[in-house]
């Protein structure tokens, strides 16, 4: 799993919390803190990243529009970002999407330790 091992450690170190971002139509960023972590995709079994997003929220509407998101996991100054296409899974998933999670992940910071600040 490579980077996902690091993401799993960071998620556990910060109580399963991550910063979740998705682009708004005007290009600005919608950001919040969500429960998230590494999880096998329930549709195809591939490893990926999952986040809990409430139904009927602006974030969910934006995810349907944009189809991509970024999650940032951190422990102090050690961090890693995962970005990519999403799959919504759950009761509020759009019927046409058959569910969408953050899988497959695209690491934004392949070695977040290289990004540490003194």
Task: Indicate which CATH number applies to the domain containing 22.
Answer: 2.30.110.10
pLDDT surpasses 90 at 16 = yes
pTM: 0.76
**Is 30 contained in some domain?**
yes
Query: Is the pLDDT score of 118 beyond 50?
Result: no
Omega before 104 cis (within 30°)? Answer: yes
| Residue 28: inside a domain | yes
Look at residue 45 and tell me whether its pLDDT is greater than 50.
yes
Residue at 115 is within a domain: no
**Residues 49, 4 contacting (CB under 8 angstroms):** yes
pLDDT average, residue stretch 65-73: 94
Return the exposure string of 23-34: e unless at least 16 CB atoms fall within 10 Å of the residue's CB, then b. eeeeeeebeeeb
Q: Which domain holds residue 59?
A: 3-108
Query: Which helix (H) or strand (E) segment is 9 a member of?
Result: helix 3-13
Decide if 117 is inside a domain.
no
Asked if the structure places residue 113 within a domain, the reply is: no
- 43 falls in which pLDDT band (50, 70, 90)? confident
Least confident of 22-26, 87-91, 92-96: 92-96
């Amino acid at each position: 799993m490579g980077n996902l091992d690091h993401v799993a450690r960071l998620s556990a170190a910060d109580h399963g919390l991550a910063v979740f971002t998705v682009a708004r139509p005007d290009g600005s960023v919608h950001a919040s803190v969500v429960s998230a972590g590494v999880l096998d995709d329930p549709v195809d079994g591939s490893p990926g990243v999952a986040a809990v997003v409430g139904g009927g929220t602006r974030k969910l509407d934006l995810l349907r529009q944009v189809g991509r998101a970024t999650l940032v996991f951190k422990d102090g100054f050690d961090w890693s970002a995962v970005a990519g296409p999403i799959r919504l899974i759950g009761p509020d998933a759009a019927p046409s999407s058959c569910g969408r999670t953050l899988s497959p992940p695209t690491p934004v910071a392949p070695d977040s330790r290289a990004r540490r600040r003194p």
